[in-house]
């Protein structure tokens, strides 16, 4: 198991308060060796701010690119590989339009857009704005890689260390940990003689690591005076068979992920993770990113796993739709329909979900992706069954969906 990220949350002010960023650097010089000296490899250090509309209150939108560039440069000098500037908000729709240019002018800055309001409603205009960002960001580079740094959010609370969903609420800085721990599930299911034993082994493994990580966090907290916000134990994968959540799910007895039985496997794994006792941050759920998981990528390439399957599995687990390759000519209207389904699931089920969709310029349904990146496993471009919405669903209202409760 590795740490995908140590994420530091702060309000850096704008113009940037260099003293705050120096303190962020001092924290990292304490935290990173504290984990690495005990055997945990730290892949990245990341910095997340308050949502950029709050950070830039009263400033012109054209300055978002400037802010992103300045912050990634300053944070980079302090050891942070990536930054997240949070999400645009439905009550300020013009803020969404600045995101594609900010993505194009930065290399390591992440952004997001909220489709839901703070009082728990879905904003139809905000859904469409998120779809517009995805469609525009797809052309930043020839491989559609720009959308790796943008996500549409539904019902997502602050404090998640996973990007692009990470943001801070303000106040004093905090930190949280994101794991890369799909291998824990794979090993638990390989080395166990029964389903019950496998579940017990996974919970014990998670809790053992969580206790160690939390003990180190307490030391870091004492030395740095930065509050620990918890662990997002979402079992993030790496594109190899032994570190694949798809492999873990198939070890339960599903011949090919995407076939019937897959939902049960996902529910079992998610329910098992829920039983582990630790200080939770962010999603702490089952993460199924197509392009980051070797088995998921292969099943998508073979045609057994699609967008509707991933939406279905989000009902029992997961963070939504992540790293999903789509045809380059997918319209913003069609993307809106997918995003609206995801937002509706989020509110009706009372859980955070995100969508990171990646239309790839020049690619059509069934074409092979051609990413050259160590953290991606190539697959095929997936179709989406969506046409432009009309009538009430094409309007400008915000509507509520109450969380379903048993009667």
Residue 406: what pLDDT?
67
The span from the CA of 319 to the CA of 178, in Å, is 14
Residue 375: what pLDDT?
87
The span from the CA of 391 to the CA of 110, in Å, is 34
Report the Cα 312 to chain-centroid distance in Å: 18
Residue 407: what pLDDT?
66
Residue 238: what pLDDT?
76
- The three-class DSSP label of residue 216 is helix
**Beta strands at 227-232 and 121-123: parallel, antiparallel or unpaired:** unpaired
The span from the CA of 124 to the CA of 343, in Å, is 10
Burial 146-174 (b: 16+ CB within 10 A, else e): bbbbbbbbbbbebbbbbbbbbbbeeeebb
> Which residues are CB-neighbours of 405 under 8 A, at least 6 positions away?
none
The span from the CA of 322 to the CA of 307, in Å, is 10
Residue 79: what pLDDT?
98
- Single pTM value for the model: 0.95
Residue 236: what pLDDT?
80
Residue 405: what pLDDT?
77
Residue 293: what pLDDT?
93
Q: Report whether 356 contacts 324 (CB < 8 A).
A: yes
The span from the CA of 152 to the CA of 154, in Å, is 7
Angle formed at CA 342 by CA 341 and CA 347, multiple of 5 degrees: 100
> Which residues are CB-neighbours of 39 under 8 A, at least 6 positions away?
none
**Which two tokens mark 147?**
């959308």
CB atoms within 10 A of CB 20: 14
Residues of the chain with pLDDT under 70: 406-407
The span from the CA of 156 to the CA of 314, in Å, is 14
Please give the backbone phi and psi of residue 15, each rounded to the nearest 5 degrees, phi first: -55, 155
Residue 319: what pLDDT?
80
Residue 374: what pLDDT?
86
CB atoms within 10 A of CB 193: 7
Report the Cα 261 to chain-centroid distance in Å: 25
């Amino acid at each position: 198991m590795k740490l995908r990220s140590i994420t530091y949350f702060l309000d850096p002010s704008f113009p940037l308060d260099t003293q705050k960023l120096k303190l962020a650097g001092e924290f990292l010089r304490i935290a990173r060796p504290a984990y690495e000296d005990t055997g945990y490899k730290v892949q990245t250090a990341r910095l997340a701010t308050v949502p950029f509309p709050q950070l830039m209150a009263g400033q012109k939108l054209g300055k978002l690119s400037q802010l992103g560039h300045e912050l990634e440069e300053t944070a980079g000098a302090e050891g942070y590989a990536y930054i997240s500037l949070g999400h645009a908000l439905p009550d300020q729709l013009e803020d969404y339009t600045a995101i594609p240019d900010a993505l194009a002018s930065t290399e390591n800055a992440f952004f997001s857009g909220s489709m839901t309001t703070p009082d728990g409603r879905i904003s139809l205009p905000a859904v469409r704005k998120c779809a517009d960002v995805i469609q525009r960001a797809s052309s930043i580079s020839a491989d559609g890689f720009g959308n790796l740094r943008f996500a549409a959010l539904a019902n997502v609370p602050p404090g998640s260390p996973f990007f692009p969903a990470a943001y801070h609420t303000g106040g004093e800085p905090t930190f949280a940990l994101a794991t890369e721990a799909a291998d824990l599930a794979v090993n638990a299911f390989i080395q166990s003689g029964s389903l019950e034993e496998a579940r017990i082994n996974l919970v014990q493994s998670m809790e053992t690591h969580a206790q160690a990580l939390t003990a180190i966090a307490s030391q870091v907290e004492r030395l740095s005076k930065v509050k620990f916000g918890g662990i997002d134990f979402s079992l993030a994968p790496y594109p190899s068979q032994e570190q694949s959540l798809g492999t873990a799910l198939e070890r339960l007895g599903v011949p090919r992920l995407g076939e019937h039985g897959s939902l049960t496997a996902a529910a079992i794994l998610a329910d098992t993770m829920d039983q582990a006792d630790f200080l939770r941050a962010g999603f702490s759920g089952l993460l199924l990113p197509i392009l980051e998981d070797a088995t998921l990528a292969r099943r998508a390439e073979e045609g057994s796993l699609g967008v509707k399957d991933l939406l279905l599995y989000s009902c029992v687990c997961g963070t939504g739709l992540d790293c999903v390759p789509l045809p380059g000519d997918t319209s913003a209207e069609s993307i809106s329909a997918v995003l609206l389904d995801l937002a509706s699931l989020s509110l009706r089920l009372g859980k955070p979900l995100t969508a990171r969709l990646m239309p790839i310029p020049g690619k059509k349904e069934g074409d092979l992706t051609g990413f050259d990146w160590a953290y991606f496993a190539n697959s095929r471009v997936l179709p989406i069954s969506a046409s432009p919405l009309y009538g009430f669903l094409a309007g400008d209202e915000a509507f509520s969906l109450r969380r379903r409760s048993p009667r």
